[in-house]
A and B are shown apart, each in its own frame.
Chain A
Amino acid sequence: MKPRDIAARTGDLGILTARAFLAMIAPPYEIGEWVRQMEQIGVRSLGVAGITTIFTGMVLALQTALSLPTLGIKYYIGSVVSKSLVRELGPVLTALIVGGRIGAGMTAEIGTMKVTEQIDALRSMAADPVKKLVAPKLVATLVMLPALTVIGDALGILGGLIVATGTLNLTPGLYLNDVWDTLKLGDVFSGVAKSFFFAYFIAIIGCHNGLHTTGGADGVGRATTNTVVLAAILVLVSDFFLTKLFYILFST
């Protein structure tokens, strides 16, 4: 992409964002569609999100204990697992895994509607595609991704507990006390706040790519791939800047 294309695309995304948020807050509310999307986006992603974080928690516990065995570090496994999950890995991994799934789903759905003239059919019947399609997806993602992240964090900490008690011979009490003592409200807050931003990026890119799909079924495939790649890159890059930002905001 040339710089000019990037600028044009950023502009487009900005316009779509404004229209989607306006459509979101203006009545009538498409509550039924919101709920359907939340189910589609949230409930159906629970499995993959859970597996991702639970195993990440287990691996974190194991790696920490194995790589630094001499320092008695296993008594701090709760801290290590919970801090890294809640601040960083929970939001990012959930956004990558779930975001890939739901972003691709959005692009495929809207893109197919675009190339089969269903978007034009909506417009021809004086219905706004942004209101009908984009806004419900954005709402659902903004609600469900942070929710999945919190559930994922909890499951990850549980994963750490399984390894800590099962292979490292810690008592559950020791592990959980350590978690409880180190985890600050700010950690949880910055993790969840990140996932709001990730949710926004994923939904807006997924929908935008769908609405701009051309070139039949091939085009839908290309647009979908583009969403997965772009969403992942945006999540990882923005994560760095958000981490810095939240560090400045909450370090005091």
Chain B
Amino acid sequence: MPEALYQIRGLTKRYGTRTVLEDLDFDIYRGECLVILGRSGSGKSVTLRQLNGLEKPEAGSVELDGTDLTRLSERELFPIRRRIAMLFQGGALFDSMNVFDNVAFPLREHTEKPEAEIAETVRHKLSQVRLKDKDVEPKMPSDLSGGMKKRVALARSLALDPEVVLFDEPTTGLDPITSATIGKLMSSIQKDLGVTSVVVTHDIPLARRVGDRIALLADGRFCFLGSWAEAEDSNDPRLRDFLAGREEDEENAA
């Protein structure tokens, strides 16, 4: 049995009267890549936001190495968040900074490295997401395409060599070739650096490539959580529909 890095128990999150996550229990193992699938609006992004304490749940606990994040204050969460990188669904690049400064931000914030070394790291991270071109560095986020923003955000999230990465749709809006590169990068940081990752995606080829286990979120819970082999054997209709890309109603009618 692999060792659990995260232990999530009874996680419940509501917005007003709408319950998005209900009594969710799961573990995330050290060094694994857990892929979260689910329909739009099912609460995937909300789940990720619990894993670095950006939002507090109404009930339940999120333990990382035995520390319950839900009980920590914002200040107490800071040292923990340095170990956890997050890629936001919309990129969330800082509008007021150019590409270079965006990627350099976490380095300047949390390391004492001299500028020359920072520049080297920034270039390396940008080249990892296929942004080698030097004239991309001074560009402002508003001048980038959607896919480029995603990749800059990815580079920024990896700048500090995190232990845990939380990726919200890393390949949405990217062409298949760039997606494949990102997939390769994600596998390599996991295999080579032992990074634990949680990936929300609709990209099934990516999920197959990087996912050690997959989870399907529906009605506030995981209706499936297991390895790909188990997923193939599962006869949960929602999972089968999801992987086959079928409409639910079709199945129900049959």
Contacts of B74 in A (CB 8 A): 123, 128
B81 & A124 in contact (Cβ 8 Å cutoff): yes
Q: How far is the CA of A123 from the CA of B74 in the complex (A)?
A: 9
- Whole-angstrom CA separation of A15 from B204 in the bound complex: 46
B247 contacts partner chain A, Cβ-Cβ < 8 Å: no
* CB 8 Å contact bits of B81-109 with A (1 = contact, 0 = none): 11011101110111110000000011001
Known contacts being A116-B92, A118-B95, A121-B92, is A126 close to B109, with CB within 8 Å?
Answer: yes
Chain B 37-72, CB-CB to A under 8 Å as 1, else 0, gives 000000000000100101000000000000000000
A124, B54: Cβ atoms closer than 8 Å: yes
Please tell me which one of the listed residues A112, A124, A127, A128 contacts residue B86 in the complex, with CB atoms under 8 A apart: A124
A33 to B77, CA, bound (A): 25
Q: Is the CB of A118 within 8 A of B54?
A: no
Beta-carbon contact of A126 and B110 below 8 Å:
yes
Contact (Cβ within 8 A) A117 B109: no
The secondary-structure label for the interface of chain A is: helix
Q: Are B109 and A127 in contact (CB under 8 A)?
A: yes
Contacts of B89 in A (CB 8 A): 117
Do A113 and B88 form a contact, CB below 8 Å, given A123-B54, A127-B109?
Answer: no
* A113 B95 Cβ-Cβ under 8 A: yes
User: When chains A and B are docked, how far (Å) is the Cα of A112 from the Cα of B90?
Assistant: 13
Determine if B245 is an interface residue (Cβ-Cβ < 8 Å). no
Which of chain A's residues has its CB closest to B109's CB?
Answer: A127
Whether A125 and B109, one on each chain, are in contact in the complex, defined by CB atoms closer than 8 angstroms, is yes
Chain A residues numbered 98-141 whose CB sits less than 8 Å from any CB in chain B: 109, 112-113, 116-118, 120-121, 123-128
A128 CB contacts on chain B under 8 angstroms:
74, 78
CA distance A123 to B88 in the complex (A): 12
Q: Please, how many angstroms separate the alpha-carbon atoms of A127 and B96 in the complex?
A: 16
Min Cβ gap B54→A in Å is 5
A123 touches B81 (CB 8 A): yes
Q: A120-B88, A123-B74 are in contact. List 20 more A-B contacts (CB 8 A).
A: A109-B96, A113-B94, A113-B95, A116-B92, A117-B88, A117-B92, A118-B95, A120-B49, A120-B92, A121-B93, A121-B94, A124-B54, A124-B81, A124-B85, A124-B88, A125-B105, A126-B77, A126-B78, A126-B81, A128-B74
* 9 A-B pairs in the complex with CB atoms less than 8 angstroms apart: A116-B92, A118-B95, A120-B88, A121-B86, A123-B81, A124-B81, A125-B106, A126-B78, A126-B79
Q: Return the 9 tightest CB-CB contacts between A and B, nearest first.
A: A121-B92, A117-B92, A124-B86, A126-B78, A126-B81, A126-B82, A117-B88, A125-B106, A118-B92
Interface residues of A (CB under 8 A from B): 109, 112-113, 116-118, 120-121, 123-128
